Structure 1
Amino acid sequence: MWLIYALGSAIFAALTAILAKIGIEGVNSHLATAIRTGVVLLLAWGMVFLVGAGSGVAKISAKSWVFLILSGLATGASWLCYYKALQLGEVAKVAAIDKLSVVLAIIFAVLFLGESFTLKTAIATILIGAGALIMAF
């Protein structure tokens, strides 16, 4: 099931780039990011209430709160950078460099989460990184 959601994420992320590039024309990138964030906020809370997950808020540990807040800050910084890059550059190049996040996520997962780094993972990581750089330059 994770694969279906991951593919959905990829499709919607691709649409995000195209729709944002069209929508950001003549709009300050920070304002555009704020609008996007507001929509995401409404959608996310709508889903919480739709599936009845709101009662879980009280059960979240302090550690989880800290890391979820830090994750939110990282997401916000990523979106601000992404929208500015889209405003200044071509979608294909911006999206390719953005996908270096896959390479960094793998490296961080190995370093900070103790996830395994096999020969297959190493080769794939190099290929993804090389592909992103070739697309951008």
Structure 2
Amino acid sequence: MNAAAFSSWQAWALLSAMFAALTAIFAKVGVENIDPDLATFIRTVVVLIAFAVLLFGTGQFAAPGAVTPKTWLFLVLSGLATGASWLCYFRALKSGPATLVAPIDKLSVVLVALFAFVFLGERPSATGWLGIALICAGAVLLAVRR
């Protein structure tokens, strides 16, 4: 990929998908002999440290005063939702196969589309809705044991 590719949201989204896939594999192995809640805590500490290093290293650490109350509220809510998602994900991985847990987790794509429609007013095209329906169907087909 060239430098321009890393300025596009599509490239970042593909990298996100790749790292999310690696997360599932690494987490499945990492949670084998440990309580899933403790595993989630360890993961969270690692993420916290990594981002602190990134922000300080790049000089992007903004003073908290520059953040509006609305931004704080929604970032805190997002953080709580992330924590809840990770907690549930690790618990699912503890007892279920990654090849079945991950597709169900990816139903979040469908839920994002629905929530964005209802709360943000985003309106996918007919082709977009078809893709969303296919993601839903694919996740269900992958997750159902025969």
Fold agreement, TM-score > 0.5:
yes
Q: Any stretches of 5+ residues in structure 1 without a counterpart?
A: none
Choose the corresponding residue for 1:60, options 33, 57, 67.
67
- By how many angstroms is 1:57 displaced? 2.8
- Runs of 4+ residues over 6 Å off in structure 1: none
Match of 2:77 in 1: 70
- By how many angstroms is 1:45 displaced? 1.3
Choose the corresponding residue for 2:94, options 84, 87, 97.
87
The one-letter code sitting in structure 1 at the alignment partner of 2:17 is A
Confirm or deny that 1:104 pairs with 2:111. yes
Choose the corresponding residue for 2:39, options 23, 32, 37.
32
- By how many angstroms is 1:47 displaced? 1.2
Deviates more, 1:98-107 or 1:43-52: 43-52
Choose the corresponding residue for 1:124, options 118, 131, 134.
131
The one-letter code sitting in structure 2 at the alignment partner of 1:57 is P
| RMSD across aligned positions (CA) | 0.9
Q: 2: distance between equivalents of 1:88 and 1:15?
A: 18
- By how many angstroms is 1:50 displaced? 1.5
Q: 2: distance between equivalents of 1:58 and 1:120?
A: 43
Identity rate of aligned residues, in percent?
Answer: 50
1:54 is paired with a residue whose SS is: coil
Match of 2:49 in 1: 42
* TM-score, length of structure 1 as denominator length: 0.97
Q: 1: distance between equivalents of 2:62 and 2:135?
A: 40
Match of 2:25 in 1: 18
Q: 2: distance between equivalents of 1:111 and 1:14?
A: 28
Match of 2:5 in 1: none
Q: Any stretches of 5+ residues in structure 2 without a counterpart?
A: 1-7
Q: 2: distance between equivalents of 1:35 and 1:119?
A: 42
The aligned length equals 137
* TM-score, length of structure 2 as denominator length: 0.91
